Amino acid sequence: MAIGPDTKGVYTIAPTPFEADGKIDWESLDSMVDFYERCGVDGMTILGIMGEAPKLDAGESLEIVKRIVARTRLPVIVGVSAPGFAAMRSLARASIEVGAQGVMIAPPPALRTDDQIVTYFRNASEAVGEDVPFVLQDYPLTLSVVMTPVVIRRIVTDNPACFMLKHEDWPGLEKISALRGFQKDGSLRPLSILTGNGGLFLDFEMERGADGAMTGYSFPDMLVDVVKLSVAGERDKAHDLFDAHLPYLRYEQQPGVGLAVRKYVMMKRGAIASDAQRKPGSALSAAARQEVDYLLMRLESRVRKQAPR
Amino acid sequence: MAIGPDTKGVYTIAPTPFEADGKIDWESLDSMVDFYERCGVDGMTILGIMGEAPKLDAGESLEIVKRIVARTRLPVIVGVSAPGFAAMRSLARASIEVGAQGVMIAPPPALRTDDQIVTYFRNASEAVGEDVPFVLQDYPLTLSVVMTPVVIRRIVTDNPACFMLKHEDWPGLEKISALRGFQKDGSLRPLSILTGNGGLFLDFEMERGADGAMTGYSFPDMLVDVVKLSVAGERDKAHDLFDAHLPYLRYEQQPGVGLAVRKYVMMKRGAIASDAQRKPGSALSAAARQEVDYLLMRLESRVRKQAPR
Amino acid sequence: MAIGPDTKGVYTIAPTPFEADGKIDWESLDSMVDFYERCGVDGMTILGIMGEAPKLDAGESLEIVKRIVARTRLPVIVGVSAPGFAAMRSLARASIEVGAQGVMIAPPPALRTDDQIVTYFRNASEAVGEDVPFVLQDYPLTLSVVMTPVVIRRIVTDNPACFMLKHEDWPGLEKISALRGFQKDGSLRPLSILTGNGGLFLDFEMERGADGAMTGYSFPDMLVDVVKLSVAGERDKAHDLFDAHLPYLRYEQQPGVGLAVRKYVMMKRGAIASDAQRKPGSALSAAARQEVDYLLMRLESRVRKQAPR
Amino acid sequence: MAIGPDTKGVYTIAPTPFEADGKIDWESLDSMVDFYERCGVDGMTILGIMGEAPKLDAGESLEIVKRIVARTRLPVIVGVSAPGFAAMRSLARASIEVGAQGVMIAPPPALRTDDQIVTYFRNASEAVGEDVPFVLQDYPLTLSVVMTPVVIRRIVTDNPACFMLKHEDWPGLEKISALRGFQKDGSLRPLSILTGNGGLFLDFEMERGADGAMTGYSFPDMLVDVVKLSVAGERDKAHDLFDAHLPYLRYEQQPGVGLAVRKYVMMKRGAIASDAQRKPGSALSAAARQEVDYLLMRLESRVRKQAPR
C-alpha cells in the first residue's frame, strides 16, 4: 500500500477528537480510525487545518501520529505545515520513523510571487528530507497563496518527493484540466490529484481528471462511492448520489462553523464520542443543530429512494 | 412601491450586458429588465460587483441607471461603492434624481477596526445625503471587511438612511439570528435583511428571519418561489425546490468564473443576447459549458418531477 | 521637454490643495505649481495616491489636469489608476488631449500571481492606448502587490509605452541593482527609474543607479540638490545635505498622517493656502505640529551650518 | 529586578545567532548577552520575530531560554507567539520555570474585529496562566492586526497579567498620547510602554510618554543614552545623538533585509561570531555591505564631534 504519483481513491482528512475540557480523546482516535476503515477509505491525512493541528503542541502531535499509525494498516499522511522548517522537519522525520507514509505541506500566507512559492517548497523538501514523499496543498481560500498551474508544475519538477497535489483552489476545475493537459503535452510528470473543499465539486472534479478526494466530509462512504461510480463511467448515478448529499454537504463545507458541523455528525454516526473543539473553536447553536438534523433526515430519505444502486 | 425597513421579497442583482467588443448592450438591458419582471422579482439592484460596475466609467454608469429606471416600474437600487466619496456622491445624487429609489454601499477593503467601519458609513451617508436610503453591504469574502452584529447595529443606529442589510457573510446564519435577537430585545430598529451569496443558503436564511434575497442567481423565479413557500410555512416544499436547483446553483456561485456561468445561462434563457464580459473578465471553457448544460438538463428534469407544486 | 526612457531628475508628486470645506482650492493649485518651478523640479506627477486622487470625481480630476497643464511648461504626468479600465481610459485620453505628457498606473490590490500582474498592465496599456507613455508604479507597502525584477522586465518588454518605473518597493535598493543588471546583460531595454517612498533612501538609490526621484517631499529643492550632487559624484556632500533633512523627512514619510505633515509644511512654505484634506483625511494634533516645528528649526540650523555648499 | 507596569528603560530584542550551516551558535549567545550588558540595557526580549523564533523547533527554543537566563541577571522576556495555545503554553510555562520573568504575545494575522482581538488575548492569558506576566505586542505593519487605543485598554483591563505594551504601530505617536490620556482620565491602569520599530521614532516617543524602548537596534548603547537624556529633560542633546544615528538606523530598520544588516553590524561590534541566518533568510550583497560600512564611518565621525556629551 505504498503511496505515489499513481495513488487513487479517498484519503480522508481526519479531525482530532477532544474531550469537553480540551484534552485529546485517545479512545475516540481509535474509534474514528475504525469508522474510516468501515467507510472504505484508502488512506488518512491527519494533523491538517481541519484536524486542529495548530492547536496541538509538538509532543501531542507526535503522540497522535503514533496512535493512528498503530491502529490502522492504511497509509497515513501527516500535515507538517509550520511557521518554520525546524519544526516542520522535527515532526516530519519523527512521523516517518513511526510509520507514516508521507507528509503534507501548505505554504505560509505571506508568500506572494511565483518565485517565493517555488523557493519555499524547494526549501521545505530539503528540510524534511528528499526521501520524504510530500503532498503539495493548494488552498488559496484559507491560505491566501495563489499558485498558477505553471507554478505547480515548477514545484513538482523541482521536487522529486512531491507525489500528490491536494487540490482545493476554488474555483478549481480548470486547474485540474490545465495540469492534466501539461501531462498530455509531456511537460509534467505523473502526479496524483486528490481534491478537497469538503467535496463540493467532487462530481465534476472526477470528470476533469482527479484521482479521488482528500477531504474530511463526514460521510466518507459517499465520497468512496462517488469516486467508484465516476471511475466506472456511471455518470448519472454518481451525480444522483452526490446531489442527494449536496444540501447537507454544503452546510458542512462552511468555513469556521463547518468543523463543528462535521464533528457533530461524526459524533452522531458513532465515530467519535464528543464534538468538542479545543479553544479557540466554533460551536453549534441549537438552531444550527436542528438544521443539521433536518438535513440528515432529508438526506437519508433521498438516499433510500435511490437504493438499490 | 417605496422601499424601506419593511421591504421583503427578491431584489435581483442585475449583471450588465455587453457586446463581444465590450460595448454596453443597451437592447439587452431592456430585455433583461423584462425577463426579471416576468420572473416576478420585487426590485432590482444594479451596478453591483457582479454588475461589473467597476469596469464602467462615470458617464456609462449613469446612462445605465437611466435606461433601467425608464424601463421598469419596480424599485431600483444602485450600487455606488467607490474609492472616494465625491464619485460616490455624484452617482448617488444623479441616480436618485433620475428615479432610482436607493443606493447600496460596500466598505473599502482597507477598513479594519470597528471604529473605522462605523466612521466610514457615517461619512458615506453624509456624502450621498441623509435623504438617500442606503443598503449596507456586508460581504467579507470579497471585501475582506468583517462586521460583527454589534458593528452593524451601530451603523444602523447612526444612520437613519440605512434601511436594509445585504447579508452575505459566509457563514452567516448566526448573524441573522443575532440581528433579529437585537430587535427582539429592543436594541435595534426595524431593518430589512435580504441575503446574497448567490442564494447558497437561502433555504435556511429565510427560516432564520431574512426578508428575502438580493442576489443574481440566473433563476430568480426559483428565488421568488422559495421565498414565498418559506413565508407560507411550506418548509419541505421550499427545500424540495431549493435542493433541485442546488447542484447548478453551487456551480454558478463560484467566485470569478461564476459570472460567466450566470451570463451564459441568462443568455440561454433569452434574457440577454451575449454572455460577454468587459475586460478583465472570465470565460467558460468548452468543458465548463458542457457541465452547465448537463446541470441544467438535470435541473429541469428534477423540477418537472416535483410539479405540480 | 519630452519624457522618455532617458528622463532624469525630480518629478514631484503634487498634493491636491483643498479649502477647509473640502472644495478644491484652485488658486493654491497655481501657487503650488509656481512653488515647484521655483524649487527647480523637472516635472510634476499629479493625481497620485498622495494627491488624494481617489477622493475626486471624474469631472474634478480633469479640471485639475487642465489647470496645472495650463500653468506650467514642465512635463505633467497624470495618475490614472482606477478600479476599471473604462475610467482609466477616460481620464488618460482626456489628460493627454489637454496637454499632459504621460500617465502613471498602479496595480489593483487583488493581483497576486506573476501572470496576473503582467496581464493587467498589458490590458491597461491597451485600454489607455499604446500611444500613451506610462509610468509603472511599484508600491507594495500600500498596494500589497509584489513585483519581482523579472516581472517588471516582462511588463516593460510587453509594453512599448512603458518608459519609466516609479520605484517604491521597501526595501528596494537591490531591485534597482537587479534592473540595471538586466540592462547590462542586454535583457532589458532602457528605462527611467525614479524613486519614491518620500525620498527615505534617495541617497543610496542614486548610487544604485536611479535617475532621480518621483516623490512629494515638501522640500523638493533638497531632492533636486541631492540628485545633482550625486550625479556630480559629490558623495559626501550629497549625504550631508540628505542627512540634515532626514530627521524631518522621516517624520513626513509616515503612512497616513504623513500627508497632513506634508501639507502643513507646504502651507508654512507658502506653496498652498491651507493644509486641509478632503474626507476621510488625517489631521495633525497640536503635539504633532510642535514636533514638526521643532524639526524644521533644527533642519534650518543644520543646513545653515553646511552652507555655503 | 522584577518587571511590572512601572518598568522603564531599554529591553533589547535579541537576535538568535546561528552558524553558517544553520546550527545555533551557543557561544555567540553568551557573548551577545555580555555585549548587551556592557551596553547597559535593562532587560532582554528573546525569541521574537527578529529573533527568528518561528525557525526554531520547540526543543531549541527552550534551550535558548535556559542558556540566556543562566548567563544574565537581567530580566528576560520570552516571545511565545504561536499558531495555537498549546504550543504557546508549553513554551511559556517552561520558560518561567527556568527563570524568565515574563512572556510576549503577538496576535495571529487572521484577527480582524475588535472582539476577536480582545477574545484572543483573554484566551492567551488563560492558556499561559494568569500568573505569567505578559507583554502585548502591537505591530500592525508585520502582523496586519490593527488595535485601537480602546481595544488595547480593553485587553489591559481584561488581563491583570498584561503589564506592558510593546508599541510598534506606525505611525504611533498619537497612540501613546491616547493611552497616556486614558490614564490621566482614570480609565486605564498603569502600564509600561516600550517602543519598537527599530527605534525610528524613539526621540519623539519618549516625549509622548513612552517608558523606553524594546527594539533590537544594533547600538543599544545609543538607545540607553537617548532614553536617559530624554528622561533628564535634555531634549536637544537627545535629538543630537539620535540624529547622528538616524541615517544608519533607517538602513537597519528596513523590513526583511534589516535583520541581515543588524547581524552584520553586531558581528562587526564583536557581539556575535557570524551574521548567518537560518533559512529562509535574507543576506547582504557586497553593495549593501559597503553602504553599511560607509554609514558606520559617518556615524562614528559625527558622534565623535558631539562628544564630550
pLDDT in tens, A22-42: 999 999 999 999 999 999 999
Q: How many CA atoms lie within 13 A of B17 on its CB side?
A: 20
Closest Cβ opposite residue A171 in set B173, B246, B256: B256
Contact C274, C28 (CB under 8 A): yes
| Whether residue B308 has pLDDT greater than 80 | no
| Whether residue D258 has pLDDT greater than 60 | yes
Q: For the residues of B173-194, what is the DSSP string, one character each?
A: HHHHHHHHHHHHTTSS---EEE
- Chain C within 8 Å of D115 (Cβ-Cβ)? no
pLDDT in tens, C156-212: 999 999 999 999 999 999 999 999 999 999 999 999 999 999 999 999 999 999 999
Find out whether the peptide bond into C280 is cis, omega within 30 degrees of 0. Answer: yes
Q: For the residues of C99-121, what is the DSSP string, one character each?
A: T--EEEE---TT--SHHHHHHHH
Using CA coordinates, name the residue in chain D closest to A52: D84
Contact C170 D255 (CB under 8 A): yes
Check residue C307 and give its pLDDT: 76
**Domain residue spans in chain B?**
9-243
Check residue A267 and give its pLDDT: 98
Q: At B107, give phi and psi (nearest 5°).
A: -80, 145
- Chain D within 8 Å of B114 (Cβ-Cβ)? yes
Residues of D in contact with B112 (CB under 8 A): 112, 145-146
- Chain A within 8 Å of B23 (Cβ-Cβ)? no
Task: Tell me how close the Cα of D247 comes to any Cα of chain C, in angstroms.
Answer: 6
* Measured CA angle at D33 (ends D27, D36), to 5 deg: 140
| Whether residue B1 has pLDDT greater than 90 | no
Average pLDDT over every residue of A68-80: 98
pLDDT confidence of C70, banded at 50, 70, 90? very high
> In a 10 Å sphere around its CB, with 0-12 CB exposed, 13-18 middle and 19+ buried, how is residue C254 labelled?
buried
Task: Tell me how close the Cα of C123 comes to any Cα of chain B, in angstroms.
Answer: 8
**ipTM of model:** 0.97
- Chain D within 8 Å of A208 (Cβ-Cβ)? no
Residues of A in contact with C148 (CB under 8 A): 113-115
Using CA coordinates, name the residue in chain B closest to A171: B254
Q: DSSP code of B218?
A: S
Check residue C2 and give its pLDDT: 80
- Chain C within 8 Å of B60 (Cβ-Cβ)? yes
**Chains with ≥3 CB–CB distances under 8 Å to C:** A, B, D
Check residue B2 and give its pLDDT: 80
Nearest partner of D132 among D187, D80, D204, D198, judged by Cα: D80
| Whether residue B309 has pLDDT greater than 60 | no
Q: Grid coordinates standing for B100?
A: 432610482
Q: Does residue A164 have a known ligand-binding role? A: no
For an interface test with C, give the residue of D197, D289, D293, D294 to mutate (most C CBs within 10 A): D294
pLDDT in tens, A191-204: 999 999 999 999 99
Contact A58 D90 (CB under 8 A): yes
Contact C86 B279 (CB under 8 A): no
Rounded-to-integer distance, Cα B80 and Cα B56, Å = 12
* Mean pLDDT score of chain B: 97
pLDDT in tens, D26-51: 999 999 999 999 999 999 999 999 99
- Chain D within 8 Å of A125 (Cβ-Cβ)? no
**For domain B9-243, is the CATH number 3.40.190.10?**
no
Average pLDDT over every residue of A219-233: 98
Contact C54 B83 (CB under 8 A): yes
Check residue A307 and give its pLDDT: 77
Percentage above 70 pLDDT, chain A: 99
| Whether residue C308 has pLDDT greater than 80 | no
Percentage above 70 pLDDT, chain D: 99
Task: Tell me how close the Cα of D113 comes to any Cα of chain B, in angstroms.
Answer: 6
3-state SS class at A63 = helix
pLDDT in tens, B242-295: 999 999 999 999 999 999 999 999 999 999 999 999 999 989 999 999 999 999
- Chain D within 8 Å of A308 (Cβ-Cβ)? no
HEC secondary structure over chain D: CCCCCCCCEEEEECCCCECCCCCECHHHHHHHHHHHHHHCCCEEEECCHHHCHHHCCHHHHHHHHHHHHHHCCCCEEEECCCCCHHHHHHHHHHHHHCCCCEEEECCCCCCCCHHHHHHHHHHHHHHHCCCCCEEEEECHHHHCCCCCHHHHHHHHHHCCCEEEEEECCCCCHHHHHHHHHHHHCCCCCCCEEEECHHHCCHHHHHHHCCCEEEECCCCHHHHHHHHHHHHCCCHHHHHHHHHHHHHHHHHHCCCCHHHHHHHHHHHHCCCCCCCCCCCCCCCCCHHHHHHHHHHHHHHHHHHHHHCCC
* Mean pLDDT score of chain C: 97
| Whether residue D308 has pLDDT greater than 80 | no
Average pLDDT over every residue of A121-130: 98
Q: Is B129 left (phi over 0), alpha (psi -120 to 50) or beta?
A: left
For an interface test with C, give the residue of A111, A115, A118, A169 to mutate (most C CBs within 10 A): A115
pLDDT confidence of B166, banded at 50, 70, 90? very high
Q: Is C203 left (phi over 0), alpha (psi -120 to 50) or beta?
A: alpha
* Mean pLDDT score of chain A: 97
pLDDT in tens, C116-138: 999 999 999 999 999 999 999 99
- Chain A within 8 Å of D87 (Cβ-Cβ)? yes
Residues of D in contact with C242 (CB under 8 A): 247
For an interface test with C, give the residue of D177, D180, D204 to mutate (most C CBs within 10 A): D204
**222-281 in A: which are within 8 Å (CB) of C?**
none
Check residue A157 and give its pLDDT: 98
pLDDT confidence of A1, banded at 50, 70, 90? low
Using CA coordinates, name the residue in chain A closest to D53: A84
- Chain C within 8 Å of B93 (Cβ-Cβ)? no
Q: DSSP code of A113?
A: S
Closest Cβ opposite residue A256 in set B171, B208, B250: B171
Q: How many CA atoms lie within 13 A of D142 on its CB side?
A: 16
Check residue A276 and give its pLDDT: 97
Closest Cβ opposite residue B115 in set D112, D116, D148: D148
Average pLDDT over every residue of C31-49: 97
Q: How far separated are the first and last CA of chain B, in Å rounded?
A: 29
Residues of D in contact with B107 (CB under 8 A): none
Task: Tell me how close the Cα of B284 comes to any Cα of chain A, in angstroms.
Answer: 9
- Chain C within 8 Å of D208 (Cβ-Cβ)? yes
